[in-house]
Amino acid sequence: MRNKSCTTNLLEFLETVTAANDNGHAVDVVYLDFSKAFDKVPHRRLVEKFKAHGIAGKVLGWVQAWLTGRQQRTVLNGEASDWADVDSGVPQGLVFGPLAFVIYINDIDNVTRLITIMNKFADDTKCGQVIMSPGDIAILQKCLDDLVDWADKWGMSFNLTKCKVMHVGRTNPMAVYTMSGHTMDSIDFERDIGVKVHKSLRPSLQCSEAANRANAVLGQVSRAFHFRDRRVFVQLYKQYVRPHLEFAVPAWSPWTQGDKESLEKVQRRAVRMVSGLQGDTYEAKLKDLGLLSLEDRRTKYDLVQTFKIIRGFDDVKSDIWFSLVGENPARLTRHSNDPLNINTRHPRCEIRKNFFSNRVIDKWNYLPSDLKNSVTVTSFKKKVHDLLTNNYFSH
């Protein structure tokens, strides 16, 4: 959806989970899997959902015309089946497909309103509950029963063997949950919108996988291009290798030296492959190439994401993560001179201290006021990049 992303979805989810963990509470997270999600949406009911969202007139007529009269057939070894009418499913590969699916399942919020977590990203859906008493377990189980009833009512179904539960927290009672009589499997980790989330909430597993994938792609690039001039090879690195190291990274940015080094080693290896560089050290070669270290780039991503949240460029509620000085002017702090500064907090556990909404506070508050008041995201990115190039946060 516009101004929302995998990153904001993960940050919102993990904000709730890490905060509960810091308060000593357990959390049960259920990862749901729709069976043949995009293929099972009934066209007539989809049109009714469009109407319920206030879509009418020519737009609704266009949707109806687009869905009506669709046919398909199978061709194998030159032999074709008869044409068959398609009365369900939203075509994939188009912007409209995921949007139509989101509209169709949007009202599952009505049957999950009593639980703590309900996050949807197209057909990737997760729900959960902070567990403080047996009553919370009962609420989550009731929610799962209601979801099954909702799916039956609206012509959808869940792939029960792929619906899993993750028990987070040392005091977790490890409750057993069921859907349609099927006992859900308990998992240690799950790939959540492309990022591996472990029940410990540590990013080590994601760091390891990201480094392995990036190294594999870097190896393919190095074998394909034997002449590695800085212009072409660095561009290939930026386009094909580095994205594996930075996808949605504000949600899983590492803090232990081992995890940070596992990612940085990939860029060190890439830099060594470039021909004709000046300088003997990794830092000197980065400067020669005009690159930042991956650690500095993660700081940049954190600050840019904070800017987008606080200044409203992302369609999310900033108070999920931050309390601004300007929102409570009566409270005097050493940062009260800038209303866009973030009030500090005092988390207890290591996970919470190093999560996005806490680790970014000091660096954000240290930025010049005029930078935080940048007009566009692009101008803010450029200015932050310049500060990091000049080691601004080392002063």
Residue with more model confidence, 336 or 248: 248
pLDDT given at position 331: 53
Q: Is 306 exposed, middle or buried (0-12, 13-18, 19+ CB in 10 A)?
A: buried
pLDDT digits (tens, 9 = 90+) for 340-349: 999 998 999 9
Mean pLDDT, range 163-171, rounded to an integer: 95
pLDDT, tens digit, for every residue of 247-271? 999 999 999 999 999 999 999 999 9
Condensed to tens digits (0 to 9), the pLDDT of residues 33-56 reads: 988 877 888 888 888 888 988 989
| Banded model confidence at residue 334, pLDDT cuts 50, 70, 90 | low
pLDDT for 266: 97
State pTM to two decimals: 0.89
Overall average pLDDT of the 236-252 stretch:
96
- Distance, in Å, from the CA atom of 323 to the CA atom of 321, rounded to the nearest integer, reads 7
pLDDT of residue 63: 85
What are 300-322's pLDDT values in tens digits? 999 999 999 999 999 999 999 99
Mean pLDDT of the 74-88 span: 89
Mean pLDDT to the nearest integer, 65-72? 83
Kindly state the percentage of the chain with pLDDT values over 90.
71
What local confidence, expressed as pLDDT, does residue 395 receive? 60
d(CA 271, CA 285): 7
Determine the pLDDT at residue 5.
92
Q: What mean pLDDT is reported for the chain?
A: 91
Are 28 and 131 contacting, i.e. CB atoms less than 8 angstroms apart? yes
User: What pLDDT is recorded for position 329?
Assistant: 58
Sorted by sequence, the CB contacts under 8 Å of residue 379 that are 6+ apart come out as: none
| Pairing status of strand 75-76 against strand 79-80 | antiparallel
